[in-house]
Structure 1
Amino acid sequence: MIREQIEAKLVATFEPAYLEVTDESHRHNVPVGSESHFKVVLVSDKFVGERFLARHRAIYSALSVELEGSVHALALHTYTQKEWEGLQDTVLASPACRGAGTLA
Protein backbone atom coordinates (compact mmCIF):
# COMPACT_ATOMS: atom_id res chain seq x y z
CA MET A 1 0.00 0.00 0.00
CA ILE A 2 2.74 2.50 0.90
CA ARG A 3 4.66 1.54 -2.25
CA GLU A 4 1.62 2.36 -4.38
CA GLN A 5 1.23 5.74 -2.63
CA ILE A 6 4.87 6.54 -3.30
CA GLU A 7 4.53 5.55 -6.96
CA ALA A 8 1.38 7.64 -7.45
CA LYS A 9 2.94 10.76 -5.94
CA LEU A 10 6.16 10.41 -7.92
CA VAL A 11 4.26 9.89 -11.19
CA ALA A 12 2.10 12.95 -10.54
CA THR A 13 5.07 15.13 -9.55
CA PHE A 14 7.83 14.03 -11.93
CA GLU A 15 6.08 12.49 -14.97
CA PRO A 16 8.81 9.85 -15.13
CA ALA A 17 10.07 8.13 -18.25
CA TYR A 18 10.92 5.25 -15.91
CA LEU A 19 9.98 4.59 -12.30
CA GLU A 20 10.74 1.63 -10.08
CA VAL A 21 9.82 1.61 -6.39
CA THR A 22 11.06 -1.45 -4.52
CA ASP A 23 10.10 -2.29 -0.95
CA GLU A 24 13.36 -3.41 0.67
CA SER A 25 11.99 -3.58 4.21
CA HIS A 26 12.51 -7.35 4.36
CA ARG A 27 16.28 -6.72 4.12
CA HIS A 28 16.28 -4.71 7.34
CA ASN A 29 15.80 -5.31 11.03
CA VAL A 30 12.10 -4.43 11.12
CA PRO A 31 8.95 -6.32 12.06
CA VAL A 32 7.62 -8.69 9.39
CA GLY A 33 5.20 -6.87 7.10
CA SER A 34 6.72 -3.44 7.67
CA GLU A 35 6.80 -1.00 4.78
CA SER A 36 9.64 1.24 5.88
CA HIS A 37 12.62 0.96 3.51
CA PHE A 38 12.34 1.67 -0.21
CA LYS A 39 14.59 1.99 -3.24
CA VAL A 40 13.43 4.47 -5.86
CA VAL A 41 14.79 4.60 -9.40
CA LEU A 42 13.34 7.69 -11.04
CA VAL A 43 14.13 8.90 -14.56
CA SER A 44 12.64 12.27 -15.40
CA ASP A 45 13.60 15.17 -17.60
CA LYS A 46 12.38 17.41 -14.78
CA PHE A 47 15.85 16.70 -13.35
CA VAL A 48 17.66 18.36 -16.28
CA GLY A 49 20.03 20.97 -14.88
CA GLU A 50 19.39 19.88 -11.28
CA ARG A 51 22.10 18.54 -8.99
CA PHE A 52 21.47 15.33 -7.08
CA LEU A 53 20.81 17.19 -3.81
CA ALA A 54 18.05 19.27 -5.44
CA ARG A 55 16.57 16.13 -6.99
CA HIS A 56 16.51 14.36 -3.65
CA ARG A 57 15.00 17.37 -1.88
CA ALA A 58 12.22 17.48 -4.48
CA ILE A 59 11.44 13.80 -3.84
CA TYR A 60 11.51 14.31 -0.06
CA SER A 61 9.09 17.19 -0.51
CA ALA A 62 6.73 15.13 -2.67
CA LEU A 63 6.80 12.29 -0.11
CA SER A 64 6.75 14.40 3.06
CA VAL A 65 3.63 12.67 4.46
CA GLU A 66 5.12 9.19 3.97
CA LEU A 67 8.46 10.28 5.47
CA GLU A 68 6.68 11.65 8.54
CA GLY A 69 4.91 8.31 8.88
CA SER A 70 6.17 4.78 8.44
CA VAL A 71 8.83 5.33 5.76
CA HIS A 72 12.21 5.25 7.45
CA ALA A 73 14.60 5.18 4.49
CA LEU A 74 14.73 5.90 0.77
CA ALA A 75 17.60 4.82 -1.45
CA LEU A 76 17.28 7.31 -4.31
CA HIS A 77 18.65 6.82 -7.81
CA THR A 78 17.66 9.87 -9.86
CA TYR A 79 18.50 10.44 -13.51
CA THR A 80 17.61 12.46 -16.56
CA GLN A 81 16.71 10.44 -19.64
CA LYS A 82 20.17 11.14 -21.11
CA GLU A 83 21.95 10.02 -17.92
CA TRP A 84 19.81 6.88 -17.78
CA GLU A 85 20.62 5.97 -21.37
CA GLY A 86 24.32 6.38 -20.56
CA LEU A 87 24.00 3.85 -17.75
CA GLN A 88 22.50 1.28 -20.10
CA ASP A 89 19.62 0.73 -17.65
CA THR A 90 21.81 -0.42 -14.75
CA VAL A 91 21.43 0.72 -11.16
CA LEU A 92 23.67 0.06 -8.20
CA ALA A 93 22.29 -2.35 -5.63
CA SER A 94 21.28 -0.93 -2.28
CA PRO A 95 23.81 -1.48 0.50
CA ALA A 96 23.21 -4.23 3.04
CA CYS A 97 21.52 -3.21 6.26
CA ARG A 98 23.89 -2.97 9.23
CA GLY A 99 21.30 -4.72 11.38
CA ALA A 100 20.43 -7.40 8.83
CA GLY A 101 17.63 -9.76 9.62
CA THR A 102 14.03 -9.29 10.64
CA LEU A 103 12.15 -9.24 13.87
CA ALA A 104 9.53 -11.91 14.34
Structure 2
Amino acid sequence: MVALQQVEAMIKSKLPDAKVQVQDLTGGGDHLQAVVVSSEFEGKTLVKQHQMVYSAVKEAMDSEAIHALALKTYTPSEWEKANQVA
Protein backbone atom coordinates (compact mmCIF):
# COMPACT_ATOMS: atom_id res chain seq x y z
CA MET A 1 0.00 0.00 0.00
CA VAL A 2 1.19 3.49 -0.84
CA ALA A 3 -0.14 6.86 0.30
CA LEU A 4 -2.00 8.87 -2.33
CA GLN A 5 0.36 11.79 -1.70
CA GLN A 6 3.33 9.54 -2.45
CA VAL A 7 1.83 8.57 -5.81
CA GLU A 8 1.24 12.24 -6.58
CA ALA A 9 4.87 13.03 -5.66
CA MET A 10 6.19 10.19 -7.84
CA ILE A 11 4.27 11.49 -10.85
CA LYS A 12 5.35 15.08 -10.23
CA SER A 13 8.98 13.96 -9.99
CA LYS A 14 8.80 12.91 -13.68
CA LEU A 15 6.29 15.56 -14.79
CA PRO A 16 7.07 18.63 -12.65
CA ASP A 17 4.34 20.83 -14.18
CA ALA A 18 1.64 18.18 -13.69
CA LYS A 19 -1.60 18.70 -11.86
CA VAL A 20 -2.37 15.32 -10.29
CA GLN A 21 -5.47 13.95 -8.57
CA VAL A 22 -5.19 10.44 -7.14
CA GLN A 23 -8.14 8.41 -5.81
CA ASP A 24 -8.28 5.09 -4.00
CA LEU A 25 -10.94 3.08 -5.85
CA THR A 26 -11.32 0.23 -3.35
CA GLY A 27 -10.32 1.58 0.06
CA GLY A 28 -7.41 -0.86 0.19
CA GLY A 29 -4.84 1.56 -1.19
CA ASP A 30 -3.62 -0.61 -4.06
CA HIS A 31 -6.28 0.01 -6.76
CA LEU A 32 -5.93 3.65 -7.73
CA GLN A 33 -7.08 6.12 -10.32
CA ALA A 34 -5.06 9.16 -11.32
CA VAL A 35 -6.01 12.18 -13.39
CA VAL A 36 -2.86 13.85 -14.72
CA VAL A 37 -2.74 17.15 -16.60
CA SER A 38 0.62 18.13 -18.08
CA SER A 39 1.91 20.25 -20.93
CA GLU A 40 4.49 17.51 -21.51
CA PHE A 41 1.66 15.43 -23.06
CA GLU A 42 1.35 17.90 -25.96
CA GLY A 43 1.78 16.10 -29.29
CA LYS A 44 2.03 12.66 -27.67
CA THR A 45 -0.36 9.76 -28.18
CA LEU A 46 -2.53 8.58 -25.32
CA VAL A 47 -0.38 5.43 -25.07
CA LYS A 48 2.80 7.52 -24.78
CA GLN A 49 1.16 9.75 -22.16
CA HIS A 50 0.24 6.71 -20.07
CA GLN A 51 3.74 5.25 -20.49
CA MET A 52 5.18 8.51 -19.12
CA VAL A 53 3.02 8.25 -16.00
CA TYR A 54 3.62 4.52 -15.53
CA SER A 55 7.38 5.11 -15.70
CA ALA A 56 7.01 7.48 -12.75
CA VAL A 57 5.28 4.86 -10.58
CA LYS A 58 7.14 1.81 -11.92
CA GLU A 59 8.88 0.97 -8.64
CA ALA A 60 5.61 1.02 -6.66
CA MET A 61 3.92 -1.13 -9.30
CA ASP A 62 6.83 -3.58 -9.49
CA SER A 63 6.71 -4.05 -5.70
CA GLU A 64 2.90 -4.40 -5.94
CA ALA A 65 2.38 -1.48 -3.55
CA ILE A 66 0.13 -0.38 -6.41
CA HIS A 67 -1.72 -3.31 -7.92
CA ALA A 68 -3.73 -1.35 -10.49
CA LEU A 69 -3.63 2.24 -11.71
CA ALA A 70 -6.35 3.61 -13.97
CA LEU A 71 -5.21 6.73 -15.80
CA LYS A 72 -6.86 9.72 -17.37
CA THR A 73 -4.32 12.03 -18.99
CA TYR A 74 -4.88 15.45 -20.49
CA THR A 75 -2.97 18.36 -21.94
CA PRO A 76 -3.92 21.66 -20.29
CA SER A 77 -6.11 22.63 -23.27
CA GLU A 78 -7.83 19.21 -23.29
CA TRP A 79 -8.46 19.54 -19.54
CA GLU A 80 -9.96 22.99 -20.02
CA LYS A 81 -12.28 21.71 -22.77
CA ALA A 82 -13.30 18.68 -20.70
CA ASN A 83 -14.23 20.88 -17.76
CA GLN A 84 -16.13 23.65 -19.50
CA VAL A 85 -19.57 24.13 -18.05
CA ALA A 86 -22.21 24.22 -20.76
TM-score normalised by structure 2 residue count: 0.85
RMSD: 1.7
Provide the aligned length of Structure 1 versus Structure 2.
Answer: 82
Say if 2:33 and 2:70, in contact at 8 Å, map to a contact too.
yes
Runs ≥4 in structure 1, deviation > 3 angstroms?
Answer: none
Alignment partners' CA distance in 1, 2:43 and 2:83: 21
Higher strand proportion (structure 1 or 2): 2
SS at match of 1:12: helix
Of structures 1 and 2, the larger Rg is shown by 1
Q: What percent identity do the matched residue pairs reach?
A: 32
Alignment partners' CA distance in 2, 1:87 and 1:56: 18
Match of 1:47 in 2: 41
Structure 2 residue ranges without an equivalent (≥5): none
Alignment partners' CA distance in 2, 1:2 and 1:55: 23
- 1:42-85 deviation digits (Å, cap 9, x = unpaired): 00000000101001111111111111122111110000000001
SS at match of 2:83: coil
Match of 2:82 in 1: 87
Structure 1 residue ranges without an equivalent (≥5): 27-33, 91-104
Give the alignment partner of residue 63 of structure 1, picking from 57, 60, 66.
57
**Aligned-residue offset at 1:11:** 1.4
